[in-house]
Amino acid sequence: MITQTKGAFKPNKTVINNRPLICMETLERVAPVIRNAAHPLRLRILDYLQRERDPRTVSQIVEAAEAGQALVSQQLRILKDQGVLGARREGSYVFYSIVEPSVLLLLECIRKHGAQQRSG
């Protein structure tokens, strides 16, 4: 229901509520992180790394992701640049692991709500 005033409806211009809006600075900082994670292949990589719990090599990730090596390597770099993943070299292998667990909430959310088909 809309708060009708008189004959001609005029919506309130300035409604000040209790809770303040999240500041744009925060949104601008966080949005690209989420946006970058919200990519099928990168989500798959995160899902895999979370499931395995221990760090995994690029080859293992490539196999799990069922994608080309170069492509996976690029995605790993993106996630690393965002601070989501960490990498550690061990011999000729590079082990990746999740160092910023906040993004895992995305996966949790997808597991809960993602299975449902969209109504529209």
Partner DNA sequence: GGTGAATATAGTGATATAGTGATGTCTGGA
Partner DNA sequence: TCCAGACATCACTATATCACTATATTCACC
Residues near DNA (CB under 7 A) are 7-8, 32, 35-36, 39-41, 57-59, 62, 67-71, 73-74, 76-78, 87, 89, 91-94
Q: In this structure, what are the phi and psi dihedrals at residue 87, rounded to the nearest 5 degrees?
A: -130, 145
Q: In this structure, what are the phi and psi dihedrals at residue 49, rounded to the nearest 5 degrees?
A: -65, -35
Interface positions, 57-86, toward its own copies (CB under 8 A): 57, 59-60, 63-64, 66, 83
Three-point CA angle 94, 31, 44, nearest 5°: 40
Least CB distance to its own copies at residue 49 (A)? 11
- Among the listed residues 5, 69, 71, 93, the single contact to its own copies using CB under 8 A: 93
Please report whether residue 89 would count as binding its own copies according to CB under 8 A.
no
Three-point CA angle 116, 98, 27, nearest 5°: 65
